[in-house]
Amino acid sequence: MAHHNGGKVALCFPGQLNKVPDEIGKRSGGGDSLPHPFFEKAWERAGFDLASFFFQREEEDQYLNLKLQVASYLLSMVSFERYQKRGKQWDVITEHSMGIYAALVAVEAMSFEDGLAMVKGVGLILEEGERENPGGMVAIIGLESEAIKKLCSDVGGGLSVANVNGSRQFVLSGEIISIERGLELALQRGAISAQRLAMSVPLHSPLMKSIKGAVQTFISDIALHPPRTPVVSHWSGKPLNDPDEIRDFLIEELCRPVDWEGCVQYLLDQGVTCFVEMGPTGTLTKLIRWIDRDVKALSYGVHDAV
């Protein structure tokens, strides 16, 4: 048990980065002088060079979201490794959206290598799905739940809530035309911010059902083990206990909204008093600050690794 003022510690794995972090992509590539063994493995096994942010294979390098997903995975894993090496403890692991893959490696439900293969494999399915199912996501800050529901029904065309990140922080998914209309309406209705995310598919929405079969087939080949420490689902906050449950979650979560607010609330009720984010941006830390101003939330970062 990792006690913080008598409470539990939760590690949080964030979803896909929305842009390339400032430290990344400014060096020359080719797999030389990679400053971390994880980055070397990414080059050897996935043909991805983090320092220069590129894939060896041209047909993969064209996919921005695929690159952002692999980069997010690597940076979270580096952050987690630093945390572990310093002998720091935790009680429970939670994740947001695509953060599930790194979270599953952290609880030893799969190996780092399989996690990398999964991120890349699912990422490619998403990119290929984009051709049949183009869409996007928009983050809306400032409007409350009722206003968001009304916005979705006014726009129509399958626009739906993809993330409940807080009482006034939402992400919507839908076809491109509904995303654009939703963004415009949100600003007209007093949102403090409405921004398109990099994602080019309507992730966490029923529109993703068409790729379920491909994901199911792909992940059936990846070895999963029972988690060594609790890892909780990002829509219920409840633990994912065994490989079958994890596999079902990995398929279902692509079509279902992330309830980050509910997940954090559930963990607070379970006695978590400290949240530590594993990644470079601190977005989840800021969302937790909104959900509960008094709870300790910090971003562990990746500082000396990149």
In the complex, which residues of this chain contact other proteins (CB under 8 A)? 139, 141-142, 168-169, 187, 190-195, 283, 286-287, 289-290, 293
* Shortest distance (Å) from residue 188 CB to other proteins: 8
Which tokens in the block code for residue 156? 């129509």
* Shortest distance (Å) from residue 289 CB to other proteins: 6
Report the residue number, 224 or 287, with the smaller CB distance to other proteins: 287
Report the residue number, 256 or 289, with the smaller CB distance to other proteins: 289
Report the residue number, 41 or 168, with the smaller CB distance to other proteins: 168
* Shortest distance (Å) from residue 138 CB to other proteins: 12
* Shortest distance (Å) from residue 196 CB to other proteins: 12
* Shortest distance (Å) from residue 155 CB to other proteins: 18
Residues 62 and 132 sit within 8 Å (Cβ to Cβ): no
Could you tell me how many residues make up the chain?
Answer: 306
Report the residue number, 18 or 56, with the smaller CB distance to other proteins: 18
* Shortest distance (Å) from residue 292 CB to other proteins: 12
Report the residue number, 100 or 288, with the smaller CB distance to other proteins: 288
Report the residue number, 4 or 120, with the smaller CB distance to other proteins: 4
Q: Cα 288–228–14 angle (5° rounding)? A: 30
Residues 82 and 64 sit within 8 Å (Cβ to Cβ): no
* Shortest distance (Å) from residue 192 CB to other proteins: 5
Report the residue number, 33 or 190, with the smaller CB distance to other proteins: 190
Report the residue number, 87 or 190, with the smaller CB distance to other proteins: 190
Strand partners, 13: 95
* Shortest distance (Å) from residue 179 CB to other proteins: 17
Residues 17 and 71 sit within 8 Å (Cβ to Cβ): yes
HEC readout, the chain = CCCECCEEEEEEECCCCCCCCCCCCCCCCCCCCCCCHHHHHHHHHHCEECCCCEECCHHHHCCHHHHHHHHHHHHHHHHHHHHHHCCCCCCEEEECHHHHHHHHHHCCCCCHHHHHHHHHHHHHHHHHHHHHCCCEEEEEECCCHHHHHHHHHHHCCCCEEEEEEECCEEEEEECHHHHHHHHHHHHHCCCCEEEECCCCCCCCCHHHHHHHHHHHHHHCCCCCCCCCCCEECCCCCCECCCHHHHHHHHHHHHHCCEEHHHHHHHHHHCCEEEEEECCCCCHHHHHHHHHCCCCEEEECCCHHHC
